[in-house]
Amino acid sequence: MNLMRDHHQLRFALILAAFSALGPFTIDMYLPAFPEMMKFFGTSASVIQVSLTACILGLAIGQIVIGALSDVYGRRKPLSISMILYFLSSFGCAFAPNVTVFILLRFIQGFAAAGGIVITRAIVRDKYSGIELAKFFALLMMIGNAAPLLAPLAGSAVLSFTEWVGMFIFLGLLGLLLTSITTWKLKESLPVAQRVPSNVVGLLSNFKTLLVNRTFMGYALAPGIMFAGVFAYISGTPFIYQKIYGVSPQTFSILFALNGVSLILGSHLARRLSGRMPERRFLLFGMSLAMITSTAVLIVVLAHGPLFTLVIPLFLLVGSIGMISPVFSALAMDLQGHIAGSAAALLGVFPLLFGCITSPLVGIAGEYSALPLGIIIFTTSSIAIITYVVLVFRKKERSVR
């Protein structure tokens, strides 16, 4: 019986992971092509990085809009519309006549991809709670975290036999596949009786309820701030690895993929320890590891250390975030019930909004400087720990006393 349940759970997680992986594929797959696209459009590295910022902004706004709508209209219909829009915008990116149109279409593509991310979180909350919710989130993220590993490798593979446009044709076909999965494989998880009224005031009230909830905000903001450092890493390393350290696009993809392995290992550890270790101890351990490794990254870039001295702490940093993210997500979502879509939207939007700030900043000193990356990663890790301690940890300490 347990074997059948586990098999069903794994199959369900694989389906949901396909949708949540759309975000990493949309962000990461074209990273190896940054230098080629810079030449194609006849523009600078910072302008190409703006296309990444536009995508991240689209992901952020899309999660707010689509997450709220999924609480009103159910999960299936908004997801289906999102996937159709993703398919169309991806093909639009492939044939964009100039960089301005490309950046606009990247925003639309990110907006559409947001549906896959936010609605999968809401579906999980519709079906699970408590320890089971934490374990399923860890399982989902463990599978989904293969996407950052596969995306740059897939991008590099496509780039080896075609130009960058082939990557966006691939993403368009992926969107078409997910549209068919939505139509034939996914069942509605939010009954009509549990949906919220379809009025703007009610939707805004849901977000207000979440924003003034100190505990929810602590669980949502801390990982969001840490992920802002990850977005700086995503935006900066294509140039740092290839320009400063002189690695090839293929080698860059392998180095980038190592962090997908780290995310998977971290998520696996979170799943194994769910219910066995007190959540506060686990979160503090993971965040402390992030602080130590981000400090190491800053020291390496200040000392202009060799490549391996940068790769190792970044690997451990990403792994620590993979550990704590499922726990943060489960704790934040557990008590949200009928407004799970809105809660999932805020969980997804914070890292993206903060990432919109850090992504362009990482290139502020030019494509041959890694110093901004070190400063940003160290700063975000520090602020994340302070946020968690102030909003959640101290409050629980006082309640215990």
Least confident among 96-105, 142-151, 166-175: 142-151
Tell me what the mean pLDDT of segment 352-369 comes to: 78
Least confident among 2-11, 125-134, 334-343, 364-373: 2-11
Residue-level pLDDT at 62: 92
Residue 300: pLDDT band with limits 50, 70, 90? very high
Residue-level pLDDT at 394: 64
Residue 222: pLDDT band with limits 50, 70, 90? very high
The domain ranges of the chain are 2-400
- Per residue in 366-383, pLDDT tens? 777 788 889 999 999 999
Tell me what the mean pLDDT of segment 214-237 comes to: 88
The crossing angle, in degrees rounded to 10, of helices 340-361 and 307-333 is 160
Residue 290: pLDDT band with limits 50, 70, 90? very high
Tell me what the mean pLDDT of segment 128-153 comes to: 74
The label of the residue with tokens 């890292």 reads 351
Separation of alpha carbons 214 and 98, rounded Å: 45
Contacts of 149 (CB under 8 A, 6+ apart): 257, 258, 259, 260, 261, 263, 264
Residue 401 has pLDDT above 50, yes or no: no
Separation of alpha carbons 320 and 309, rounded Å: 17
Q: Which CATH superfamily is domain 2-400 in?
A: MFS general substrate transporter like domains (1.20.1250.20)
- B/e letters for 251-263, b = 16+ CB within 10 Å, e = fewer, are bbbebbbbbbbbb
8-state DSSP, 335: T
